[in-house]
Amino acid sequence: MCYDERNKITGAYNPIIKRDGPSIVRNGYPPFFTRFTFKDQIRAERTEAATIDIGVIPSKWQKRFLVLTQVYQTQKDIPEYVANGTMNRMHSRMRLLTIFLPCTFFMAFTLHYMKRKPALVTE
């Protein structure tokens, strides 16, 4: 796809324009991401984003849930202030668990009962 000169949207897709904006390559990161460099950058941004003004102090249970949902590896990794987006991610994952686990147990119980029902009828 070539750049069209008639495009009036601030030259956002113009490959000729050189930009001095922030770049992950200029900040010491490689020009491509592997799984490990991506996780390292996300963890660094996650801890930098939370301050007294915009962060949340997680309770003891919230710290356990942050580890349970694999947002952080251990409770020692959790900073004093956690970003709101991180807490929202934890709540979304917990919501998934609270829906998925009871449905799974209900299905397992139902299948077990259905297999056992013919034996109960013949007795």
Over residues 8-40, the pLDDT tens digits come to 565 665 666 665 655 555 566 566 678 887 777
For residue 78, CA distances in Å to 32, 40, 48, 69 come to 27, 14, 12, 13
110: enclosing H helix or E strand: helix 84-122
Q: What is the pLDDT of residue 7?
A: 57
Higher pLDDT, 36 or 65: 65
The alpha-helical segments, DSSP class H, found in 3-83 are 35-49, 60-68
Residue 115: band (very low, low, confident or very high) from pLDDT cuts 50, 70, 90: confident
Neighbours of 113 (CB within 10 A): 10
- The distance between the two most distant Cα atoms of the chain, rounded to a whole number of Å, is 83
